[in-house]
Structure 1
C-alpha cells in the first residue's frame, strides 16, 4: 500500500489517481500527525511525503517514522516545490528518504520509482518470511537434539539404579572400592574379573584412562560359581573437581537379560538419528534455496533496469532534442537507473560472500600489480601515485582479497581532495597477535596491512557506520556509490578470520588497517 502525505488535497488527488491506474492501493493523509497515526496502524511499502507542511514538515515526519519498527522497510520519497536547494535535498536523505523529487514531478518517472521501491519492499517481506521459516527449522532441530539428550540422560539414570557390579578407582586406575557383586566374578578386591582370552576390554580402557575420557565396552566375564563366561557391559566415567579427575567410577552390567531392551533402544536411537539427519538436510536445502533466491532476485531486477535505461536513452535521442528540461529529468532517471544497477550488483556480491571457498597461498604483491593494471586509466587521469611495500604471501581466497583492495583503492581515488593528486601507500608488517594495535614481530603469525591515502578523510565518530551495509558519510550527488563497498570488504575480511578498521580526520586522509592470518587454520581443529 502507498501513502500520500500532503496538506493540499488538490496535490493528493492527481497522484492518487495516477497510482491507482497502475493498480496500487493508495492511502492519503493531509498532515504529518495524520500520517504518523496511519503508519502506526498500517504497513506501507512507499510513503510519498510533501516537504512543506504546517505544524510538522516532511523532514520531521520522516525522522519520526524512522523510529517505528513497523516502517523499517518502508521507502520515503520527498516531494517539494519550494525547498529545492542542495541543503534541503541533503536533509531529505539524512532524514531517511531514498529519493528527493521537485515539483512539478514527471508522473511516469514517479510511477517507475514507486514500482521499483514497492517491488523491493515485497521482496524484503518475502526474505523476512524465509528467515522466519529458517529459524523455526533450527528450533525444531534443537528440540529434537534436546529430546535425544534427555533420553540419553534417562538411560544413564536407569543403568545407575540396576543391581550391577560397581567399583571405583584412583586417577591412575587402581581399585579403591568394589561392591558385593564384584566377588561373583573376582576373588579379591584388588584384581579385576577374568575376561575371555580373546577379549581386549582392559587394554582399550587403558587408552581411555590416559586421555581422561569416558569409556564403554563389552566383554565376557567368567562367573566363579559356574565357570561360565557372561556378556557384560563395562562403563567407566571420570569424576572431576575443577576440571581435574579425582577418581573413576565404573559398572559391569549383565546384558544377557537386557539384550532385547537394548535392541529396542538402539532402534529408537537409530530412528531419532534418521529424523535429525532429515531435518539437517532440510535446513541445508532451505539455506541453498535462500542463496538461490538472492541470486534470482538480483538477476530479475537487472532485466527491467536494462530495459528502463535502453528506453530512456531511446526517448532522449529520438524525441527530446529540443526539450532541455525533459532531457534534464530523463538524465536524472538514467543516472538513478545506473545507481540501482550498481546497487543490485553489489547486493548480489554481498549475498554470495557466504558461499564456502578454499584458501590458497596468495602473493599479495602479484595480486596488487594485476589490480593496478585495471586502474591505469583512472590513475593517469587523476595523476595518482600508488606506493606498494613488500607484502607477504598468505593463505587467502584471492578473488575475495582482491575485492577488498579494489574497494579501498576505489575509495581512495573517489574521495580525493579537489586539485590534489592522490597519493596511496600500501605497507605490511608481521605482528604477534590478532589485534589492530598488536606489536610488530618478525615471526608473527598475523600480518597488518595499512592502506593510506591523502584524501578528504572522515570524522572517526562515524567509524562504526562505514562498514555497515548502505551506510554513507557523503551525499550521492557529491560522491557516487552504493554504500556497500566497505561492507563487502569487512565481510571478506571476516571470511578470512581477520580484522579491519580505519583511522582518519577530515581533510587529513584515511588509513585502513587490515589484520590477516599468514596461515589459515581449520576452525574445527581447535574444538
Structure 2
C-alpha cells in the first residue's frame, strides 16, 4: 500500500537518467507529488515557487552550482530554510565532505550507488516525522481554538454580567480618574460613559459626612493599601443635574504583580426608597 499522499518531494540531479531512476523508485513505494530539477538554480526556483515542498533529495556533484552551494542558498531563504535536504553523491565520499554537507544544512548524506531500501527508508522516516509534527500542530491548534472560544465565552459572560447588573460599577485609576462605567452607573448619574471617562470620582461622589469631603480619596487609598477592600459605606452619588443619590458603596483594589494598586473597582447600590434622604428631612 502506497503512503504519504499529499507530500511533495523535490529531486535534483543534472543527469536525466538519475532523475528517472529516482522518480521510478519513489513512485513504486509512495504516492507523493514529485518535482524535478536538473540544476541548482532550477531547484531554487522550484523550491521558492512551489509552496509546501516537504523534502529535497539533492545531488552534490553538479556543474555551475553544486549541491553544497544550492543547499546554502536554500537555507538563507525564509521560504525554503526549513526544508530537510538529503544529499546524494558518488564522488564526495570522505568524512570531510560529509561534515560539510551537514554544516550547510543537510539532514542526511547518502553515497551512490544508491541502496534502494535505504533511500526509501530515509525518505519514509522524514515523511513520518513531518506527519507527526503536523498532527501535533493540528492538536495544538485545536486546543488553542477551544481555549480561545472558552475565553471569548467567559469574556462575553462577564460583559453581560457587568452590562445587566443592577448595581453601578465604576473602574478608577489609582489617581481617582474614571476609566469605565457600566450602564447602571450611567443611568444613576445621568452621564454617558464617554462623559464619565473625563471625570474624577470626586466629581460624582461624596461621603455621607460633609467633613470628609475633599480628603476622602487619600483616605481610600490608605485603607485600600492596608485591606484591599472597603464595603458597605453609606455615601451619595452626585448626578449630572446635581441630585444626590443615596448609595451603599464598596470599593476594591486591584493590584499588579509588584503589589501596587493598578485600578480601583467601585460598586454602588441605589438606596433611594430604602433610607431616608437627609436633604429632604
Shift in Å, 1:214: 3.5
Report how far residue 233 of structure 1 moved: 4.5
- The residue aligned with 2:42 is 34
What residue number does 2:31 align with? 24
C-alpha distance in 1, partners of 2:93/2:143? 45
Q: Secondary structure at the match of 2:212?
A: strand
| Structure 1 residue 175: Cα displacement | 5.6
Q: What is the rounded CA distance, in whole Å, between the counterparts of 1:244 and 1:135 in structure 2? A: 32
- Provide, for residues 375-412 of structure 1, a one-character-per-residue CA deviation record: whole Å limited to 9, x for no partner: xxxxxxxxxxxxxxxxxxxxxxxxxxxxxxxxxxxxxx
Which residue, 101, 105, 113 being the options, matches 1:104?
113
Tell me by how many angstroms 1:7 deviates: 0.5
Residue-pair matches, total: 212
Aligned residues of 1:8 and 1:30 also touching (Cα < 8 A): yes
Could you list the per-position Cα deviations for residues 305-338 of structure 1 after superposition, in whole angstroms to 9, with x for gaps in the alignment?
xxxxxxxxxxxxxxxxxxxxxxxxxxxxxxxxxx
2:253–2:261 Cα contact (<8 Å) kept: no
The alpha-carbon deviation at position 85 of structure 1 amounts to: 1.5
Local SS of the residue matching 1:83: coil
Q: Which residue of 1 aligns with 2:206?
A: 167
CA-atom RMSD in angstroms: 4.0
Q: In the TM superposition, what is the alpha-carbon distance from 1:6 to its structure 2 partner?
A: 0.2
- Following superposition of structure 1 onto structure 2, how do residues 383-402 of structure 1 map, counting pairs within 5 Å? none
Q: 4+ residue stretches of structure 1 with deviation over 6 A?
A: 247-250
Kept in 2: contact 1:43–1:71 (CA 8 A): no
1:233 and 1:2, CA in 2 relative to 1: closer, same or farther beyond 3 A?
Answer: same
Structure 2 partner of 1:128? 137
Q: How does 1:260-299 map to 2 (within 5 A)?
A: none
State the TM-score, normalizing by the size of structure 1: 0.35
For the structure 1 residues 24 and 252, does the alpha-carbon distance in structure 2 shift closer, same or farther, using more than 3 Å as the test?
closer
**Map of 2:226 onto structure 1:** 211
Please give the alpha-carbon distance, in whole angstroms, between the structure 1 residues aligned to 2:57 and 2:108: 10
| Conserved? CA contact 2:228–2:252, under 8 Å | yes
Checking the alignment, whether the CA contact within 8 Å between 1:93 and 1:99 is kept in structure 2 is yes
Preserved CA contact (<8 Å) 1:59 1:92: yes
Larger Rg: 2
User: Higher RCO, 1 or 2 (CA under 8 Å, sep at least 6)?
Assistant: 2
Deviations along 1:70-111, one digit per CA (max 9) or x if unpaired, are 445532110111111221100101111111111111111111
How do residues 305-454 of structure 1 correspond to structure 2 at under 5 angstroms? none
Q: 1:145 to 1:122 in 2, by over 3 A?
A: same
**Larger fraction in strand:** 2
Summarize the Cα distance change of 1:251–1:102 in structure 2 as closer, same or farther, 3 Å threshold: closer
Return the match for 2:10 from 3, 6, 12: 3
Contact 2:75 2:82 in 1 (8 A): no
Distance change >3 Å, CA 124–CA 238, structure 1 → 2 = closer
Question: Is 1:83–2:92 an aligned residue pair?
Answer: yes
Question: CA offset at residue 253 of structure 1?
Answer: 1.8
In the TM superposition, 1:250-261 aligns within 5 A as 251-254=268-271
1:67 match: 76
Query: Relative to structure 1, is the Cα distance of residues 119 and 238 closer, same or farther in structure 2, using a 3 angstrom cutoff?
Result: closer
Shift of 1:216: 4.4
The structure-2 alpha-carbon separation of the partners of 1:151 and 1:176, relative to structure 1 and needing over 3 Å to count, comes to farther
Q: Say which SS state the counterpart of residue 109 (structure 2) adopts.
A: strand
Q: Is the CA contact 1:77–1:98 (under 8 Å) kept in the aligned structure 2?
A: yes
The residue aligned with 1:489 is none
> Counterparts of 1:116-155 in structure 2 under 5 Å?
116-148=125-157, 150-151=159-160, 154=163
Question: What is the Cα deviation at residue 150 of structure 1?
Answer: 4.4
Q: Quick check: 2:224–2:252 contact (8 Å CA) kept in 1?
A: no
